[in-house]
Amino acid sequence: MPVMPALAPGVALALAILAGAPLVPVNVIDGADGRGSLITLGPALGLTPAEIDRIRAVSGHIGCFDPLPNVASAALFLTNDQILTAGHVFFTEAGEREAKCYFRRQAPGSRWIALKTDAADVRFGAAPVKPGSNDDWAVVRLSEPVAGAEPFPVDETTTAAGDSLIVVTAHPAGMDQFDLNVPVVQRCKVRRAPISTAATTFYRSDCDASGASSGSMNLFRADGRLVFRGITISTGPWRDPKFMGAPYDEHAGSATTALGTGAAILAAGRSLAEGE
């Protein structure tokens, strides 16, 4: 199967392009930036060593590099040979399909695995997709399974305002002080629960975010175990300094949007896993 073992320079370049300046603002909501390295911050978030290892085993970088570099986060979904991420990763701003797409989890020694993006191996919410919309998701098959990796189970609870999340991002723009091989994590809260679950379970949070945060895995602890609640798809104008520490305000843009792993996304993931 085709793999690309050394894309770290390409990811670093894409993050630099996203940054656009030496000092990168971030949509920091309600005070200080709460993000940090999984290894150092994880225990304070209540994560056990086994949970930290599992997070690194199932989540990581996704990058598409033709015609333009586009990087984000992704995580294994339902099986060890397909990932869930934001749909806009696979399209240029003009709506053209991206190609040469790869995934690399952040477990030690992991390599880049090519994504299979033909029609039989991908499920899009829409094609092309409007970034930040209810259709901004994609389930995509890997060219080979990730041996030994066990995706987090899909959240079956009802999302409510005030729920505590742990958000896992491969490497947000502007966080060059952190190792590319270690996820960045944060504890934050759901601020607006889904109004409808007919298509996708769209919810908003006070999670901090910057470029390349799309596709970040949102985890929730239900009955003592971590479950896969959703993915980050958009945030406010993170390059605008006025959003540094601004109070949560959906109308002003000081909010982060996620899509839950249920409804249409779950149906699409099952369909792809079963080869339908």
Segment 143-148 mean pLDDT: 96
Segment 61-80 mean pLDDT: 94
Does 249 fall in a domain?
no
Does 81 fall in a domain?
yes
- pLDDT value of residue 150: 97
CATH code of residue 87: 2.40.10.10
Domain span holding position 110: 3-22+57-151
Does 39 fall in a domain?
no
Does 83 fall in a domain?
yes
**Residue-wise pLDDT tens digits, 39-56:** 999 999 999 999 999 999
Q: Kindly tell me if the per-residue pLDDT of 206 is higher than 50.
A: yes
- How far apart CA 162 and CA 48 sit, in angstroms, is 23
Q: How far is CA 196 from CA 76, 123, 156, 199, 223, in A?
A: 25, 21, 15, 8, 24
- pLDDT value of residue 21: 40
What is the band of 200 on the pLDDT scale with cuts at 50, 70, 90? confident
CB distance 174 to 241 below 8 Å: no
Q: Which residue has the higher pLDDT, 9 or 128?
A: 128
Does 146 fall in a domain?
yes
Segment 69-74 mean pLDDT: 92
For the chain, what is the domain count? 1
Segment 68-85 mean pLDDT: 95
Give this prediction's pTM: 0.88
Does 164 fall in a domain?
no
Does 36 fall in a domain?
no
- pLDDT value of residue 171: 86
Q: What is the mean pLDDT of the chain?
A: 86
Q: Kindly tell me if the per-residue pLDDT of 61 is higher than 50.
A: yes
Does 119 fall in a domain?
yes
Pull the structure tokens for residue 151. Answer: 């995706």
